[in-house]
Chain A
Amino acid sequence: MAVGILIAVLVFLVLLVLFFIGTYNRLVRLLNEVKNAWSQIDVQLKRRHDLIPNLVETVKGYMQHERATLENITQARNLAMRPGSVSERAQAEQQLTQALHNFFVVVENYPDLKANQNFLALQEELTSTENRISFARQAYNDAVMNFNNVIQMFPTNIVGSMFGFKEQSFFEVEDVAERAVPKVSFQ
């Protein structure tokens, strides 16, 4: 009888230890995923910075009248590449996104440009990069959600707090205007 109880206690302890090890490793893996997702955003931003000189070079000849638009892009890019605090860089990236949006609206006026194979390829790359940036942010948020779920839910939250895992924060849209539901208005 006593042996039975002893075995039961031992089995319970072994299971408990296994649970702790499993949860700890899972948390480490999820946290690494969060970090990796975060660095992915930087990778994609870098990709965007590399594309821009190419773009400006290609379209310069076609868009004599859009000097300002192109200069905006180059300026925003240089600003974004400068080392600075996270919020400063985020703001610069925001500007760059805006400048590129304006550029793509203006491009509609240049049918010659839209027939240029080189430009079309660049446009595809830029579109893809813009997508990648937003997908990378979204993936980061998904990773954060997975991690936070484990950290907050019972019983894994016990392991999380024991080993000092902290909740991660989501990537939020800074610009309130961008978050608002878009509306079309006519004069």
Chain B
Amino acid sequence: MFELIRQNKRRSILLAILMLLFMLLTGYIIGASFSFAYYFISEPYAFSNEGPGVNPSPQQTVPEYPLNRYSSRTYQRPSMTYEEVQNFIWLYWGPLGAFVAFVVWFIQMLFAYYSGGNMLLSISKAIKIEKVDHPQLFNIVEEMKIASRLPAMPEIYVIDDPSINAFATGRSPEHSAVAVTRGLLNNMNRDQIQGVIAHEISHITHRDTLYMTILAVSLGTIILLVVGLREIIGAGIRGSTRYSGRNRKDAGGLILFLFVVYIFALLLSLIAPLIAQIIYFACSRQREYLADAGAVVFTRNPEGLASALETIAKRYQKQPATDVNQIVAPLYIVNPLETRNLDASSIFSTHPPLQKRIQILRSVAKTPSITYEQAWQEVVGKKWKKGTFTPTVAPAPSLEQPAPTTSSPITQPVCSTSLLQNARLSGDAIMKAQKYRFIDCSCGVKLKIPPNYTGRVLCPRCKAVHNV
């Protein structure tokens, strides 16, 4: 799974650079468009051979007025040629727009870097807790801090909300926080909470919060720029139509060119937020798989997180999620906004489908010899290296409410075609026919008890005691 983490890190850096470049491109185009609008509004005669300063007829004197009250220089109509104006726009206004975009991005980034985490926590009404308030949660976080070798203990927050969710925030491993909802604490056992916390802590160690902040700020900047762009396009079009009638003869080519730019800019203003969101959500989905892999590395217990996700999935089928902003949604362990979408993923999903995440974790739990990345390959369906052995994949967990059926296990459809899985299922069916009893331990081990055995059974993995 370390290889998977490395590979994904490279890919996410690439995506982040792509996002930044895209933002700069948007800024560039806005700069260029703005210059057109500027020329049309402030200098309606810039592209024409008429107007003041061009062919001053004897009756029409050149208006001469000072540039400002301190200047003795007088207004001179810029005498630029068609090509000069174009060059000026592409080489001066475009880069200026990109630069402005960068400055806007940078200021927002500074703000988000230093206070974004606190803002998120206060928006979600998270309350900071100490050890006395919830010793178990505190212990679990500290255990995960030890396992992940975090340099500092994250602050712990509880959100007083019945929904089941959690998120991590903070600009660096030294300044981090995890927040969990009251519903999560009430509905999950220790192992499950540990899985969730491990997932959040690995977001922190992967610096996902910083990474997603960069992306979110880029996305926000692009949206801001695009709103500005629309205004400018509107102004530019109003300006150009006002004067185009008069100048059509002389500057028709230029005006046509301007309209092409405007249409391009208009299209961009529609598409840019869309593309930016797609990049943003793609990053988010990747980071989720990575955080799951990290949770397995830290807890060495995939079943904890798997059953936690299952609990969340089942819960959300009954109860809709609370109100959460779409942009902060990727920070949560499951997206509070799209939990109904459990088995399918779209390009606008912030999280991979829960079913797939559970399936991968279960595969790792069932077969100790396979790694997270092998299971990931098998479930997601992307090959990553030739010749690796095919892992046994757990069947996709059925998150639907179990239908009341009396059919025997043999006739039930087998989700996975893998041999071992089939063997296990048919073996269970035979044991069931011989009146064996099955006990599901909370740690995920299935104990198979002979028909006439009574007494206590010790779970071989977690040492829990079951009474038969």
A residues with a Cβ closer than 8 A to B are 33, 36-37, 40, 44, 101, 104-105, 108, 121, 124-125, 127-128, 131-132, 135-136, 138-139, 142-143, 182-184, 186-187
Contact = CB atoms under 8 A, between A and B. Distances in A.
B263 to A, nearest CB: 48
Contacts of A121: 135
A139 B147 contact: yes
A125 B460 CA distance: 23
Contacts, number: 58
A135 B143 contact: yes
A124 B449 contact: no
A105 B460 CA distance: 13
Contacts of B146: 40, 44, 132, 135-136, 139
Nearest to A44: B146
Contacts of A37: 149
B450 A105 contact: no
Given A108-B465, A128-B143, 19 more contacts: A40-B146, A105-B458, A121-B135, A127-B139, A127-B190, A128-B142, A132-B142, A132-B143, A135-B146, A135-B298, A139-B146, A142-B149, A142-B297, A143-B149, A182-B461, A183-B460, A184-B447, A186-B450, A186-B453
B148 interface: yes
B249 interface: no
Interface size class on chain B is: 20 to 34
Contacts of B142: 128, 132
A175 to B, nearest CB: 15
B460 A135 contact: no
A143 B297 CA distance: 13
Interface of B: 135-136, 139-140, 142-144, 146-149, 190, 297-298, 300, 447-450, 453, 456-458, 460-461, 463, 465
19 contacts: A33-B149, A40-B146, A44-B146, A105-B463, A105-B465, A125-B135, A127-B139, A127-B190, A128-B139, A128-B143, A131-B143, A135-B143, A135-B146, A136-B146, A136-B147, A138-B147, A138-B300, A139-B149, A186-B449
B259 to A, nearest CB: 50
The interface residues of chain A, by DSSP majority, are classed as helix
Contacts of A186: 449-450, 453
A44 B461 CA distance: 23
Given A131-B143, A132-B143, A104 B135 contact: no
B149 A104 contact: no
A139 B144 CA distance: 10
Contacts of A143: 149
A124 B463 contact: no
B65 to A, nearest CB: 56
Nearest to B447: A184
Given A105-B463, A184-B457, A139 B139 contact: no
Contact of B136 (A104, A108, A124, A138): A124
Contacts of A36: 149
A40 B298 CA distance: 16
Given A104-B463, A182-B460, A125 B139 contact: yes
Contact of A124 (B139, B298, B300, B448): B139
> Top 7 closest A-B pairs, CB basis?
A182-B460, A128-B139, A135-B147, A135-B146, A131-B143, A108-B465, A139-B149
Query: Interface centre among A40, A101, A108, A183, by most B CB within 10 Å?
Result: A108
A37 B147 CA distance: 10
Given A101-B463, A124-B135, A182-B461, A139 B453 contact: no
Nearest to A36: B149
Contacts of B139: 124-125, 127-128, 131
A9 B453 CA distance: 80
A172 to B, nearest CB: 15
A139 B148 contact: yes
Q: Tell me which of B136, B447, B450, B461 has the highest count of chain A C-beta atoms within 10 A of its own C-beta.
A: B136
A108 B457 CA distance: 12
Nearest to B146: A135
Nearest to A105: B465
A164 B361 CA distance: 41
A139 B147 CA distance: 5
A37 B144 CA distance: 13
Contacts of B456: 108
Nearest to B299: A135
A127 B142 CA distance: 13
Contacts of A33: 149
Nearest to A40: B146
Q: Which of A124, A183, A186 has the most CB of B within 10 A?
A: A186
Nearest to A140: B149
A40 B147 CA distance: 10
A136 B461 CA distance: 20
A171 B258 CA distance: 70
